[in-house]
Structure 1
Amino acid sequence: MAGLVKMYNDLMEKADPRVDGWFMMSTPWPSLIICVAYFVFVKMGPTIMANREPFEMKKILIVYNFCMVLLSTYCFVEFLLAGWLNGYSLRCQPVDYSEKGLRMLKVCWMFYFSKFIELFDTVFFVMRKKFNQASFLHVFHHGIMPFSWWFGVKFVGGGFGTFHSMLNSFIHLVMYTYYGMAALGPQYQKYLWWKKYMTSMQITQFILVTIHSIQLLFIDCNYPTLFVYWILAYAVIFLIMFADFYRNAYKKPKTNGAVTNGVKAKSN
């Protein structure tokens, strides 16, 4: 135990001092506890809702989704202006630990905090008894992001690693626009023909992040290799999972029963 405590203390000595005193950045435990509580809620949710009627949440969903559009837009624009349209290199981009890089660090923290807000996606699925939408891919993706991004902000808030968060902010801008329009009601379904292409955009995102990460394994760059492997592993895992989802949802031939069920779902 003494050895583990020493390792933890040695690790914390390498943290970015600029985040000292920032909300939830002193220790990883609050982030870990919230993520664990999220997984427990997902597991217990169907039992909790078993004898309850689904909640009617149309107004809440409209407000929530369009607020998330605004938040995602803010993060995307800030990632661009703080670095990716202001001198950042697509090859080697070290973290700027000076006060000059503070703008990028702030948007990294905002992106990290937005991952906790996004956990409400699943909470709303459970409250509306849409359990099928809380798939393994959805829960795994939402559940690991907040905790993993704590380390990103704590140690490497800026530079190379913000490429994937910049792309992800844009994807979420599009995604929450779709969910917001869907929440408006059936009369807007005719404008939502592009759901399939939204999944294609997510797959493209992970392909770009994979390529972007692999190149750093073959060049010298003042960016921690551990985080390069972390980002690469994340991109490859989700590339495989989203590609499998796309194949099952859009490429597999549907039986007559499946088509009928799809029509019924739309008509409801």
Structure 2
Amino acid sequence: MSWFKSIDELLYSDYRTRDWPMMSTTAYPTLISLVYVFFIKVIGPKYMTNKKPYKLRKILMVYNIGQILACTYLSISFLKTNPKFGCDPLDLSNDPMSIHIASLVWWTKLLKLTEYIETVFFVLRKKQNQISALHIYHHVSTYMIIWMSTRINPGGVVRIPVILNCFVHMMMYFYYLLSSLGPKIQKKIEFYKKYITIIQMVQFCIIIVNSLFFFAPDCNVPNIYGYVFIPNVFLVFYMFYDFYNNAYSEKGAHDIKNRKQK
């Protein structure tokens, strides 16, 4: 489509990653994300209308363990590349380390794509109430931005946000793993859920500070990346803050308790 070509021209490609799988055109992430949203909002719920929820306990355990291991591997691998907080210019050479960093960003993009599966599990378990606007937007925007990073800036300033995100997701999926062990465990660890949200918001604050260096004259970060990335971080932070207030404030907790009793 012509408008995909227009976006592709705007998001010029790093010559090193342009021929890597799913990187040649923005049609790939856009169409995948549209199918994802259509399934979780229309096809999936319709399919489950007259069906009992799938339990998926073992599948969830395998999925959560897989996410933890993948995040652990990526965070350690990125740390070994000596990332810098603040201005961290992209190395566009064919140096083996530079190519290795670009490949790690590509694998991060693939990992974020697999997180779409989490929402599919919600649909199959009839947990449609957990598929909030925050949940959908966060998944889609994160995948789209890491795809853009792989295309135009696979390394440099991208590393710190990815490392932070991996650390947070290691904790989050460990919480999910424990939750999948049954109601007794869920009750014991439910108290910690709000702290995971707090850690996520702290992560966004650190990323925002780090992002201020994107526009430094000698930082070599494409302006379009900063124009897309920074407003998105602010928006996601606001959405998480709003969720925290609604879910964990006294009034929010009271409203949730009343809804459960009805």
Q: Tell me which residue corresponds to 2:120.
A: 123
8 Å contact from structure 1 (residues 28, 147) kept in 2? no
Pair 1:110-2:118 in alignment? no
Q: Take 2:253 and 2:170, find their aligned partners in 1: how far apart are those partners?
A: 34
Q: Tell me which residue corresponds to 2:247.
A: 249
- In the alignment, which of 156, 161, 179 is matched to residue 153 of structure 2? 156
Q: Tell me which residue corresponds to 2:209.
A: 211
Q: Tell me which residue corresponds to 1:237.
A: 235
Matches within 5 A, 1:61-100: 61-82=60-81, 86=82, 88-98=83-93, 99=95, 100=97
Using the size of structure 2 for normalisation, the TM-score is 0.89
Deviations 1:16-48, CA, capped at 9 Å, x for gaps: 222244221222222211100011012212222
Aligned-residue RMSD, C-alpha: 2.4
The residue type equivalent to 1:186 in the other structure is: P
Q: Tell me which residue corresponds to 2:177.
A: 180
Q: 1:239 to 1:58 in 2, by over 3 A?
A: same
Deviations 1:199-223, CA, capped at 9 Å, x for gaps: 0011001111111112444554222
The residue type equivalent to 1:142 in the other structure is: H
8 Å contact from structure 1 (residues 58, 183) kept in 2? yes
- In the alignment, which of 119, 138, 142 is matched to residue 141 of structure 1? 138
Query: 1:261: how far off?
Result: 5.8
The residue type equivalent to 2:89 in the other structure is: P
Pair 1:36-2:27 in alignment? no
Query: 1:240: how far off?
Result: 0.4
Q: 1:256 to 1:161 in 2, by over 3 A?
A: closer
Q: 1:204 to 1:8 in 2, by over 3 A?
A: closer
Q: Take 2:8 and 2:57, find their aligned partners in 1: how far apart are those partners?
A: 47
Q: Secondary structure at the match of 1:247?
A: helix
8 Å contact from structure 2 (residues 71, 170) kept in 1? yes
8 Å contact from structure 1 (residues 79, 166) kept in 2? yes
The residue type equivalent to 1:117 in the other structure is: T
Q: Take 2:8 and 2:114, find their aligned partners in 1: how far apart are those partners?
A: 29
Q: Secondary structure at the match of 2:16?
A: helix
Percent identity, please.
35
Q: Take 2:113 and 2:26, find their aligned partners in 1: how far apart are those partners?
A: 14
The residue type equivalent to 1:23 in the other structure is: P
8 Å contact from structure 1 (residues 105, 157) kept in 2? yes
Q: Tell me which residue corresponds to 1:55.
A: 54
Q: 1:258 to 1:158 in 2, by over 3 A?
A: closer
Q: 1:16 to 1:219 in 2, by over 3 A?
A: closer
Query: 1:153: how far off?
Result: 0.2
Report the count of equivalent residues: 258
8 Å contact from structure 1 (residues 94, 223) kept in 2? yes
Using the size of structure 1 for normalisation, the TM-score is 0.87
8 Å contact from structure 2 (residues 201, 237) kept in 1? yes
8 Å contact from structure 2 (residues 71, 167) kept in 1? yes
8 Å contact from structure 1 (residues 66, 176) kept in 2? yes
The residue type equivalent to 1:231 in the other structure is: F
Q: Take 1:234 and 1:9, find their aligned partners in 2: how far apart are those partners?
A: 20
Q: Tell me which residue corresponds to 1:27.
A: 25
Q: Take 1:127 and 1:94, find their aligned partners in 2: how far apart are those partners?
A: 43
